[in-house]
Amino acid sequence: MQRNIKEKAGMLFVSLMCAIMLSPAWALASEAVDMAQVPAAGDPGWWKWPVILLVVTFVMGIIAVLGGVGGGVLFVPIIGGFFPFHLDFVRGAGLLVALCGSLAAGPGLLKANLASLRLALPVALIASTMAIVGAMVGLALPTHIVQLALGGTILGIVAIMLTAKKSTVPVVPQADALSTALRITGVFYEPTSKEEINWKIHRTIPGLLTFIIIGFMAGMFGLGAGWANVPVLNLMMGAPLKISVATSKFLLSITDTSAAWIYLNKGCLIPMIVVPSLIGIMLGSFVGVRLLKVAKPTFIRWMVIVILLFAGLKAVQKGLSTMGINLFNFC
């Protein structure tokens, strides 16, 4: 019985991916429609874009939950690469997509004593400041430069997903001086082993310096930063995996808010893109949570990797084509 359920779930995922591939959005995207072809609000055909966006982000929300990645990581490269929207508008919406998920999860994670305020606050101070700088730089640079950098970043994320290891509870022989001074330590209950785990961190200064880059990239590309937060907190600084994931979610609510204000001030948050995206991602996330129990993690992980790889190549192709260079005609 359980095997049949898993097989049906796998068939559902394949069907959903086929729906994306065969959707009007994908077909239009393959023709590299430019922004001038998008109907204006007064045109009777303007409504098709929010509807297509709602459907695509709904599927994206399911995949994001099952694949364990933030919605912003999928949203920006896919919508930016395959929809005829200006990249500035997509990045602004991407920040709100990531922010929406973190705001929904943050209070519960704090209440469960999984998100650490002592760990989050110094990181948030650095990352949110650099997110503002990154947003300002990203909006000032030519679009094709941002496209190329975005494509390179997405391909880098793919490499991290292929090679990164996870440690449930890293061994930290001794807390360093800075983490001791800031009292970055804690205790949480692990239900699988039925024990309380005392944790501490080390390599605090290198970790905080890394968040300068992470915050800058989060603001510049509108990706959110969960894909980078967790490996740094877990593998570099030695926080347990559950603490790293929960603290990362809480961090996003601060970092993405800081960068989102810059995009809002520059007029880069358009309701026609933002509203259907948020609704689609949230509805998809609810469905994804229900499917998580029967999904095959390996299948979903590889599906996310393939999607991001294709989207990263598409972003690079769009950046190069603006410069008159066509390398990836298959995209």
SS3 171: coil
Q: How far is the C-alpha of 242 from the C-alpha of 244, rounded, in Å?
A: 5
Count Cβ atoms below 10 Å from residue 132 Cβ, excluding itself.
Answer: 17
Model-level pTM? Answer: 0.76
Return the pLDDT at 115. 83
**pLDDT at 116 (0 to 100):** 87
* List of the chain residues with pLDDT < 50: 1-2, 5-38, 330
Predicted pLDDT of residue 257: 85
Burial 258-291 (b: 16+ CB within 10 A, else e): bbbebbeeeebbeebbbebbbbbbbebbebbeee
pLDDT at 181: 92
pLDDT of residue 293: 62
- pLDDT, residue 42, reads 55
For 163, other C-beta atoms within 10 Å of its C-beta total 7
Report domain extents, the chain.
2-322
pLDDT for 44: 54
Beta-carbon count within 10 A of 230 CB: 22
- In whole angstroms, what is the distance from residue 292 CA to residue 285 CA? 10
Convert the pLDDT of each residue in 27-82 to its tens digit.
333 333 344 344 555 555 667 888 999 999 998 888 777 766 667 778 888 888 78
Whole-number average pLDDT of the chain: 78
